[in-house]
Amino acid sequence: MSGLRAVPTGESEPVRTPAGLPSPEEAVPSDRRRPLILSAGMGAGHDTVAAELARRAAAHGHEPHVADVLRLLPYGLGGGLRRSYQASVRHFPWVYAGVYGAFLRGGRVPRPSGVPLARLAAERLTDLVRRLDADVVVSVFHLAAQLTGHLRARGALRVPSAVFLVDFAVHRQWLHPGNDQYLCLTDGAAAEVRRALGRPAVATGPAVAPQFHVSAPGAAGWRERFAGRAPGRPPVLLSAGAWGAASRARGTARLLTGAGYLPVALCGRNARLRARVARVPGVLALDWVDDMPGLLCAAYALLDNAAGQTAVQALAAGLPVIGYRPLPGHGVDGVRRMAELGLAELAPDGRTLLAALDRLAEDGRERRERVTRGHALFRDDPMAWAAGW
């Protein structure tokens, strides 16, 4: 049994309306599945997606397992890769821009492949699949997609491999013709995969926890906190990701306070960034936030720099997204693609940022239209497609 749904390779593919997930005690699967989900500890986004896919599998009575592909690399290479990426996006973004241009961005010029690095984890992955008796491997990180595609093409991975492509902008390291199926955020991304690989690809939309799709109970507490801090000032979130990678965050904060907003800086696990931003008068600087559904539900807008998991969580929560000072590489490409799709607005400078915020009046037409487009992105369950239940 392949475990993967047959998906045509044409330009359009109908999808089901998402349905509520059963609780584990309600789920009675006719065929219990054992999906292995390959993530990577690069920030928190990929792990957050992997955890949500695992939750959905468990809710249907299946037996998921999540593994970090970086930990499967020998000689400490995975840890070194993580540390170098973190340092570059935080302190040397021009270095990451060069790496992205050389290895990841598409184009006609030949570029190095990720397969040589990925295949160093081949033996450990095949051993893990065998020990877990996994019947499908689902990759949510591009290096994992290179690894599974390589192994499937060689016949060394005997179970199907699906790739959940979690970026709005498709870069070449996600793409390997050996993989059986691709699940994408948008129709455009799925069409791009089909053109590049000739492999089945379908648009399911993102995977976020169900708490983001409802009115979060924690929102009331956040609203009280905002009102106590700056009465009458709409709270605008400044997202810097789990690692606190942000460009000129203090300048953005000063711009917002001067225009009558309350900047709420999400500094992740970067204590230095939080300390710097907190010195700007009128700013609320936060470290790691556990109640993201409540925070997003209580905010006025999100300033996003990466088109990653925080952005899609905001779309699910009905919070408008504005791309501003994006990270180089995948951040720039992803933010631009979201803007092209009408899911966000890209503000190239402070003047256009303030104009974009002013147009998002509560209950205004533009805000309603943006929220509607954001909600429409969530179309199907990528885990159901990958595991075939």
Do 301 and 236 contact (CB within 8 A), yes or no? Answer: yes
Q: How many CB atoms lie within 10 A of CB 21?
A: 18
- Look up the pTM and report it: 0.87
Do 179 and 143 contact (CB within 8 A), yes or no? Answer: no
Q: What is the mean pLDDT of each run of 10 residues along the chain (389 residues)?
A: 42 34 42 93 90 96 96 87 72 66 61 73 95 96 94 95 96 93 97 95 97 93 96 95 81 96 94 94 94 97 93 97 89 93 96 96 89 96 88
What is the rounded CA–CA span in Å between residue 3 and residue 35?
A: 10
Residue found under tokens 């205004």: 364
Q: Give, as one character, the DSSP assignment of residue 233.
A: P
What pLDDT, on a 0 to 100 scale, did the predictor assign at position 167? 95
Do 89 and 83 contact (CB within 8 A), yes or no? Answer: no
**Domain boundaries along the sequence of the chain:** 35-210+379-387, 213-376
What pLDDT, on a 0 to 100 scale, did the predictor assign at position 269? 87
Do 205 and 277 contact (CB within 8 A), yes or no? Answer: no
What single letter denotes the amino acid at residue 126?
T
The CATH number for 213-376, chosen from 3.40.50.12780, 3.40.50.2000, 1.10.10.10, 3.40.630.10, is 3.40.50.2000
**DSSP per residue over 7-59, as a string?**
---SS----PPP-PPPPTTT---SS---EEEEE--SSSHHHHHHHHHHHHHHH
Class of domain 35-210+379-387: alpha beta
What pLDDT, on a 0 to 100 scale, did the predictor assign at position 28? 43
